[in-house]
Structure 1
Amino acid sequence: MISIQHLSKSHKGTPSISDVSFTAGPGRVTGFLGPNGAGKSSTLRILLGLDRADAGVATINGVAYRDLRSPLRTVGALLDGSGAHRGRTARGHLTWVAKSNGIPLTRVSEVLELVSLSTVAKKRIGTFSLGMGQRLGLATALLGNPSVLVLDEPVNGLDPDGIRWIRTFLKNFAAEGKTVLLSSHLMGEMEETADDLVIIHGGKVVESGTVTAITAGFPSLEDAFFALTGATK
């Protein structure tokens, strides 16, 4: 369970998010939808302990990220690609992360297989395509076998097969009673993947609810989004 309660944050006097509140529950894929600059990244950075809020509270399973005893065993995150050194191999990177977090090394082979990178495990990350880097980032997020995933634009760089694969993976992950918070600006993909939606615009949550409820009366999520945000197509 992810809980965001009344988060506010300003940068150099300009609000980036204002009184943002929502929850992402177990057994659900919650989509965090908004245009670039809407406040999605600011919210996720606070949730994951990478930034501090001016006001409000963000917790994962009732605990602030900085207070988690074993963060990678609780929440896996993918924000800016794999975050790996380009000179390392995929297996070398995952092994280093596993060792530094007390995760059994057998898990490295498991996640490489899970994201279909086993055949390139010994290749240097600097030779990877953008899509392969995204898969490695997801493998890193899954190393600790967490109950919560927080992903920012995970389909970036993936081909159609890769997009379908990650959509199926996230749905299956949530079906196990786990929590997924998926941030994106891609409305078509979000409509296909998410159970629930939180729409943010101008640093404020303008709507939240199930995909079915939010799109009721509209031809598509895109139409609902533009109507709710007052944006122009």
Structure 2
Amino acid sequence: MNGMLRIEGLTKRHGSRLVLSDVSFRAQPGRVTAFLGPNGAGKSSTLRILLGLDHPSGGHALIDGQPYRRLREPLRTIGSLLDGPGAHRSRTARNHLTWLARASGLPKRRVDEVLERVGLADAGRTRVGRFSLGMGQRLGLAAALLGEPSALVLDEPVNGLDPGGIRWIRALLREHAGAGGTVLLSSHLMSEVAEIADDLVIIAGGRIASAGRFDKVTAGYATLEDAFFALTAAGRAEEAR
């Protein structure tokens, strides 16, 4: 595995509004990197650019040295979970994953494998519209894992999961990183981030407030939450100058 993710000098404007300003950081293989920031800080814009869903005004977002749109087999390189399962409510879980597998040239056996891995083996023929929020998250994770990618990019992956599900996904992400893969996750759950993250990237006001190893970013603070509020407040104050 590899899956190095490099964000270099990323800038994004919407009209006269500067959404991202010179955003740079790395998510490295073998490590779980948490991408934190308040609502509106620029996290979603950064992830959307990384995944080829939006264009930057400047800078680069690279996966193994390539922008997403140049990847020959994107699902084999990077798996993502943004905005829930991404499946039509009338489709069954199995049909949704089968369609993704066929479109990406993946073997059909992967559908059953990922349904089993995320705990939806018995719900494969259930229509997505009948899924709970947690089941929808598991289906989104199944889609992210379908191509056995080296990198995972996950936005609020534990949303809707019960304590057992949260513990399960923590183990899954640690296993992925332990096998040499890259994990970049965004979450508002500070306690969960503190349990799993090796590295932290904190963004505020479209600018990086701090980035580095967990212990270095949080040095001098009693908790991750204290570090987060102090650093994001400082970032917003810098933006206002």
TM-score exceeds 0.5 = yes
Pair 1:162 & 2:178 matched: no
**Counterpart Cα distance in 2 of 1:120 and 1:137:** 14
Q: Percent identity?
A: 65
Conserved? CA contact 2:37–2:232, under 8 Å: no
Deviation at 1:230, TM superposition (A): 2.1
1:208 corresponding residue in structure 2 = 211
Paired residue total? 232
Conserved? CA contact 2:33–2:198, under 8 Å: yes
Pair 1:142 & 2:145 matched: yes
Equivalent of residue 71 in structure 2, options 58, 68, 72: 68
Backbone CA RMSD of aligned residues: 1.1
5+ residue gaps, structure 1, are none
1:153 corresponding residue in structure 2 = 156
SS of equivalent residue, structure 1 residue 230: helix
**Counterpart Cα distance in 1 of 2:117 and 2:146:** 11
5+ residue gaps, structure 2, are 237-241
Query: How big is each residue's C-alpha offset from its partner over 1:128-170, in whole Å with a ceiling of 9 and x where there is no partner?
Result: 0011000000000111000000001111111111111111110
**Counterpart Cα distance in 2 of 1:186 and 1:150:** 16
After TM superposition, the structure 1 = structure 2 runs for residues 11-90 of structure 1, keeping only pairs within 5 Å, are: 11-90=14-93
**Counterpart Cα distance in 2 of 1:11 and 1:190:** 30
Equivalent of residue 125 in structure 2, options 100, 122, 125: 122
Query: How big is each residue's C-alpha offset from its partner over 1:207-227, in whole Å with a ceiling of 9 and x where there is no partner?
Result: 011111122221100011122
2:7 corresponding residue in structure 1 = 4
Deviation at 1:189, TM superposition (A): 1.3
Conserved? CA contact 1:76–1:149, under 8 Å: yes
1:189 corresponding residue in structure 2 = 192
TM-score, normalization: structure 2? Answer: 0.94
Deviation at 1:188, TM superposition (A): 1.5
Query: How big is each residue's C-alpha offset from its partner over 1:81-113, in whole Å with a ceiling of 9 and x where there is no partner?
Result: 110011111111101110111000001000001
Conserved? CA contact 1:36–1:185, under 8 Å: no
Pair 1:91 & 2:121 matched: no
Conserved? CA contact 2:86–2:140, under 8 Å: yes
TM-score, normalization: structure 1? Answer: 0.97
**Counterpart Cα distance in 1 of 2:129 and 2:233:** 42
